[in-house]
Chain A
Amino acid sequence: MLERILARWQGLALSLIGIVSISWLALSGQLGLYIHPRYFVFTVVMAILGGLLTLAAFAVTPEKDDHEHESEQLEPAAPRGRWRVVLPLAGIGAIALAFVALVIVPPSTLTTATVENRELNSSATGVESDTSSHVELAGSDVSSLSLRDWVSLLRDGSGSDFVVGKTTTLSGFVTADSSDPENVFYLTRFVITCCAVDAQPIGVPVYSPGWSSTYAVDSWVETKGTFALNPSGKSSESVVMANPTVSAIDQPAQPYAY
């Protein structure tokens, strides 16, 4: 009995949960926490189509219900004994978990736990042709350069001549520099190519002795500073943002870099 109810409603319940969650994220402008903006339209269109079909499925009773049930009865491999109890319970558990994860728990960005897991600036994300054209376009006005542009300039050894002495304002969340955690922190963001699963952390190092007494790891800050050679002897970064003015900010609506 339970099995049959589940077989009929499990898919619709999960699709309802998914669709409500997606449309709410889209309406409240938070879809960007999970996927790249180029998928917004496709995702919303398919959620609407799926929603219409789900509603229609509520209206239609499967015609061949009896037929299917008969053949189920004949199934030699239909779950027996303990599985007969466990499988439906697992199904209900899955729906409950999906409900809690997608409908109750508030959406959030990735945290430092993932930064630790995926080495900062390990990917060559910045070293793409469009960065150099950004830099050329910017000329002496560097205010238009993004965190990502700066990261690639810092990585690219030849860029350090250009970088030193430039002043800019950048924002990101705080993570500690593993080689000199007392004096240097990173302004960090995740770069997303498709969805949060492929997020790669990037960061610009900031020299600010004793920063951890004022700003918590994972909190969002905006930093104004001038790039200079790193005064820290321990840190592995050669160029950092020095003499920074740091101020706490709310997490921006667009927390990822693309």
Chain B
Amino acid sequence: MPMLDPMISSPPLPVAQARATSRHRRGVIGVGVGLALTAAVFATRVLAPSSTADQLPNVARDFLTLSISVIVESIPFVFLGIILSIVVQIWLPESLMQRVLPTRPVLRRAVMSLLGVLLPVCECGNVPLTRGMMVKGLTVAESMTFLLAAPILNPVTIITTYQAFGWDNGILAARIIGGFLIANLIGWLFSKHPRPEELLTRGFEATCRVGHDHASHAPRLQRSVVAFSSEASAMLPALFIGSAIAGLIQVGVSRDVLIALGSNPVWSVLALMALAFVIAICSNVDAFFILSFGSTFMPGAIVAFLVFGAMVDVKMLALLRTTFTTSTLTRLTLVVALAALVLGLGVNLIA
């Protein structure tokens, strides 16, 4: 690794100092290259002809607009999630999590699912954060419980849901309690897995192993930047692909079909879960969105939308695929969907 340039470390500098100088120099060059690239991309953006949009067919334009809007909406949350994940991985004292969490697995997962109250990140930001927790040594089941519960059990989501629905039909209560129960159900199911490391993709599992026994001696700041770079490499391609798929489905699937099913007690639940799956909207604001459909839908359907959509959707699956195997995600999606369906039908029966 020390690519010592003999030209730089000319006469009698001690090796360590020479290495530091060369690293410093490379750092300056790196920032220079980064700034130059940024300026070049920015100039391209400013100078790009503004007339090309008219030549695209409407469908292609809308596909781009919809996909870009998902990206613009999600990138800030992904960055926030990566930053929090870095804090958890690198800046929190090694033993803090283990000391604070109860020892009984059920209680541990219950506490994990309430952690979202402290870390109000939208679901797409929770993916890097969850990865950070697993690297830090929490089990797959515990991290998964956090991943599913945090988008619902966090102050921003609870407040917006309250603003949208108040106490009407128990929608708020069903969302909070249902979300908590489903997340802990998933955590319990996956904690029964005999070899939890098989739930993870090979690449991420290797990162976890390195994270465990690799006590890096590099300064924390440097490790943080490296962690940002590698998390961005994992998350952003998935985010861009997920957004493109979401945009494609939006252009291709007519929403009328889903909405036409709204008044049937069973079909409305399924239709809104399908809508939640394709629309990939942030859990912080999905209550306002579904409120705009007002009386079209039954309360159980709205609850299913609010619970299922916060846990699983196309964009989330693309992001989660960086970490979990396809078969893990299939099982997770099926169980969450079934549980949300039962919850929705239950609310429809009572309300």
Contact = CB atoms under 8 A, between A and B. Distances in A.
B197 interface: no
B250 to A, nearest CB: 6
Interface in A122-170: 122-125, 127
A132 to B, nearest CB: 14
Given A49-B83, A103-B45, A106-B50, A59 B27 contact: yes
Contacts of B286: 194
A191 B75 CA distance: 22
Contacts of A198: 279, 281, 289
Interface residues of A, number: 90
Given A20-B38, A24-B42, A122-B259, A58 B206 contact: no
Contact of B225 (A60, A64, A110): A60
Nearest to B79: A50
Given A59-B31, A67-B210, A117 B251 contact: yes
A204 interface: no
Contacts of B281: 194-195, 197-198
Given A46-B76, A196-B69, A200-B292, 8 more contacts: A15-B79, A55-B34, A60-B229, A62-B230, A91-B237, A119-B259, A197-B70, A198-B279
Contacts of A122: 256, 259, 293, 296
B76 A16 contact: no
A193 interface: yes
A94 B58 contact: no
A47 interface: yes
Contact of B285 (A21, A43, A193): A193
A251 B66 CA distance: 18
A234 interface: no
Given A54-B232, A59-B28, A94-B240, A118 B256 contact: yes
Please give me the 6 A-B residue pairs with the lowest Cβ-Cβ distance, nearest first. A11-B233, A124-B294, A11-B232, A58-B34, A46-B76, A196-B69
A6 to B, nearest CB: 8
A22 B279 contact: no
Contacts of B77: 46
Contact of A113 (B48, B62, B247): B62
9 contacts: A12-B232, A15-B79, A50-B75, A75-B202, A114-B66, A117-B250, A122-B296, A193-B285, A193-B288
Interface in B225-271: 225-226, 228-237, 240-241, 244, 246-247, 250-251, 253-256, 259
Interface string B66-95: 111111110111011001000000000000
B61 interface: yes
A64 B293 CA distance: 52
B41 A17 contact: yes
A191 B241 contact: no
Q: Which secondary structure dominates chain B's binding surface?
A: helix
B58 A112 contact: yes
Contact of B72 (A31, A61, A111, A124): A31
Nearest to B27: A59
Given A21-B45, A60-B225, A117 B255 contact: yes
A193 B237 contact: no
Contact of A125 (B83, B280, B292): B292
A71 B210 contact: yes
Given A55-B31, A104-B44, A106-B49, A11 B254 contact: no
Contacts of B23: 61
A47 B255 CA distance: 32
B58 A218 contact: yes
Nearest to A25: B72
Given A16-B38, A94-B241, A124-B295, A64 B214 contact: yes
Q: Which interface residue of B73, B77, B203, B293 has the most chain A CB atoms within 10 A?
A: B73
Contacts of B282: 194
Nearest to B254: A117
B1 interface: yes
Contacts of B280: 197
Interface string B26-56: 1110110111011001101110111111001
Contacts of B288: 193-194
A64 B228 contact: no
Contact of A10 (B223, B233, B250): B233
Nearest to B234: A11
Contacts of A194: 73, 281-282, 285-286, 288-289
Contacts of A111: 58, 61-62
A16 to B, nearest CB: 6
Contacts of A55: 31, 34-35, 38
A191 B62 contact: no
B64 interface: yes
Nearest to A72: B206
A57 to B, nearest CB: 4
Given A39-B73, A113-B58, A193-B285, A34 B229 contact: no
A68 B210 contact: yes
B210 to A, nearest CB: 7
A114 B229 CA distance: 37
A123 B65 contact: no
B62 A11 contact: no
Interface in A16-39: 16-25, 31, 33-36, 39
Contacts of A36: 285
